[in-house]
Chains A and B, each alone.
Chain A
């Protein structure tokens, strides 16, 4: 059951009632059971992996805290990290590596019948793995004491709002909250419901609707002209933002209604003026994790190389980011491209800062508009690698965009109209939040009537044009 399945619509309200009916002292137990129930409902054996990672992390971190020998501590940390990463590497990359080995053997005319196992990636494994690794490193660095209660640790790793797609949280933020659960907080619950509502809007009305149109083009790239490919590529970052951003809001909103603070994951990323700023607004929890646990240690290690040390650390960090998203050449390429953009920005930072200061560019609207557009184009171009099936397709798309034009593929006009309606609403809200945050308030309006009408309207809109299943399609044949 994902957040957008009907099952969740039944599970969640029941859980809230059960949760608040449980005495404060035992609420973490209710949550732990609910989290495992949630995950087991997706596939029972996946829960075993989560339990395994929890057990291993608990044992090793307790060992780490009970010894003063630095090198032994380090050994424990490394062993646990390897154990934690093994399932991730196995599930995510096994089939790719398997195929790679198979074809390599074939080229040497060796045909070993390697087991061709069709593996389904355990949902969420990428996310909670990172959370567990982060916790292990934090204990090693003595940033946090190892958790004595294995149940609380289990809850941190399996916490159902976060388990599927993040945000990736830190033990430092979550464990204290789980250990000292507070009573019912009206403001927090209200905030949670608002985030839930907007999250569902983003996912069902914007992301999934855009997906229908973009899939019709990206699944048939050899049949579409450059104009259609360009338009679909232009829309794709918005689909990603509405999808992951919407899902994150649902996750955060769910956690809020249960009384927990969770880090913000997206902060109106399309209003970034530079690529560096973009990565402070897009998938914030992932970037923070990568910065803290990979970039900073790496750039610290290479600091004697000055700016080039930073460039190397950047490229490696984004390479890892690309691989984390998926082990295909396209993801690796995407990661490296991002690393390159940021490296170029870092290398030219001094000179740009001087020019910006001289002409007071940061306050000029045309400079901001230019920055926003340029950053968007860069991110969009790199995403063509993220979306295409393989590198050849990606390059083909670029080629077609620059060499062919023609009529824009419409398919189903109502799909496009719903797409644009949803997208305009989303961007309008982000725009007002960014530049005029105190005006045009709907969910936050002081007038209760306006607030209630806003909530109701969004729910009705979701019922009218939200995408509830895969039954929607654009007929496309060549």
Chain B
């Protein structure tokens, strides 16, 4: 009796709910597809801004010298200065808030298309530490999932369900609706000048006392370590000059597990590693910094000129 009551109920009442859910589901699918495709179109027609620079890095630029890294890469390496000094096309692929995992993805997309000559990877003092947020920041790569099979394994590190979330065509463009709109405006192009990927900072640091960095011991992240090793292996087998750089900080730094990792590899001649932390040329010059972590345009130019000399010394031996 109970059983038949349940079936009777389910057949009549449940059917209506299922019908409504399916109806709404279909409407969502249609809207999601239409809006997603529109966002996709306008994302790739942006002419300035952070999305544009990532797209250029991944899909169109053919520079011989490339710089990778986070905001420190983006603000520390003046592409035009390096270009003039080294007579090599240069592009700065650094992007704020992103880690070596992002850099590895850009690297993979680049080497699939052509063979650059020199690669600089700017690394932070905690570059290889395990940090949950690094994986969440991989959302910056979502718009490229569809057209770049070579980076899908990196994007899928974000979480076990990324593949399924990407069924939604809007999902890769979550939260960047306005940025896409602005990136398509000519106004933005003049507001944020594009200097081959380099973004200059113009402020000066307010607190000129040198602080010591207090950092707890982290643990090395396997994925990030594998990314670094993957880059080194590829460059070594393909005769690409690879340099890891810890660019200047306005603080008294310390040796971290990341620093030690790169130092060790350099000692074993696996790669080149230049460490500018605690470099007297910079920690006595607050006028070169916008804040503790970033050089301003003056500092970036000084730093870039310094690098020209060092890199020039390397190039003949590489050839």
Contacts and interface: CB of A to CB of B under 8 A. Distances in A.
Contacts of A413: 178
A198 to B, nearest CB: 15
Q: Which residue among A190, A459, A467 has the maximum number of chain B CB atoms within 10 Å of its CB?
A: A459
Contacts of B206: 478
Interface string A1-24: 000001100000000000010011
A186 B171 contact: no
A465 B35 contact: no
B192 interface: no
Interface in A308-356: none
Contact of A184 (B13, B96, B171, B207): B13
A452 B174 CA distance: 23
B178 A452 contact: no
Interface string A446-478: 000000110110011001111111111101011
A185 B16 CA distance: 11
Interface in B93-119: 96-97
B89 interface: no
A183 interface: yes
Interface string A399-415: 00000000000000110
B196 interface: no
B132 A470 contact: yes
Interface in A16-46: 20, 23-25
Given A414-B179, A470-B133, A183 B9 contact: yes
Contacts of B174: 463-466, 468
Size range of the chain A interface in the assembly? 35 or more
Contacts of A6: 159, 161, 164-165
B2 interface: yes
A185 B12 CA distance: 11
B291 interface: yes
A403 B23 CA distance: 57
Contacts of A20: 10, 14
Given A6-B165, A24-B2, A460 B9 contact: no
Interface in A260-294: none
B165 A24 contact: no
B10 A184 contact: yes
Interface string B20-59: 1001100110011001000000000000000000000000
A285 to B, nearest CB: 28
A104 interface: no
B161 to A, nearest CB: 5
Given A456-B28, A459-B28, A473 B97 contact: yes
B6 A471 contact: no
Contacts of B2: 23-25
A469 B139 contact: yes
A312 to B, nearest CB: 46
A455 B9 contact: no
Interface in B262-295: 291-294
B168 interface: yes
A418 interface: yes
A89 interface: no
Chain B interface helix/strand/loop/mixed: helix
B31 A460 contact: yes
A460 B292 CA distance: 41
B185 interface: no
Contacts of A7: 161
A471 to B, nearest CB: 3
B178 A460 contact: no
Contact of A465 (B32, B138, B161, B177): B177
Nearest to A413: B178
A453 B176 CA distance: 23
A189 interface: yes
A452 B96 CA distance: 40
Contacts of A185: 13
Contacts of A184: 9-10, 13-14
A186 B17 CA distance: 7
Nearest to B206: A478
Contact of A467 (B17, B159, B175): B175
B250 to A, nearest CB: 11
A463 B10 contact: no
A472 B175 contact: yes
Contact of A471 (B5, B139, B178, B179): B139
B152 interface: no
B3 interface: yes
A186 B27 CA distance: 21
Nearest to B170: A463
A473 B14 CA distance: 43
Contacts of A477: 291-294
A90 B159 CA distance: 34
B35 A460 contact: yes
B6 A24 contact: yes
A417 interface: yes
B150 interface: no
Contacts of B165: 6
Nearest to B169: A463
A453 B30 CA distance: 12
Contacts of B9: 183-184
Given A183-B5, A463-B168, A465-B174, A189 B17 contact: yes
Given A6-B159, A467-B175, A452 B23 contact: yes
Q: Which 4 A-B pairs have the closest CB atoms?
A: A471-B136, A414-B178, A469-B136, A463-B170
Interface of A: 6-7, 20, 23-25, 183-186, 189-190, 413-414, 417-418, 452-453, 455-456, 459-460, 463-473, 475, 477-478
Given A460-B28, A471-B133, 18 more contacts: A6-B159, A6-B161, A23-B2, A24-B5, A183-B5, A184-B10, A184-B13, A418-B175, A456-B28, A464-B170, A464-B175, A466-B174, A469-B136, A469-B139, A470-B136, A475-B71, A477-B294, A478-B207
Interface of B: 2-3, 5-6, 9-10, 13-14, 16-17, 20, 23-24, 27-28, 31-32, 35, 71, 96-97, 132-133, 136-140, 159, 161, 164-165, 168, 170-171, 173-179, 206-207, 291-294
27 contacts: A6-B161, A6-B165, A7-B161, A20-B10, A23-B2, A23-B3, A24-B5, A184-B13, A413-B178, A414-B175, A418-B178, A452-B23, A452-B24, A456-B24, A456-B31, A460-B35, A463-B171, A464-B173, A464-B174, A465-B175, A465-B177, A467-B175, A468-B174, A470-B132, A473-B97, A477-B292, A477-B294
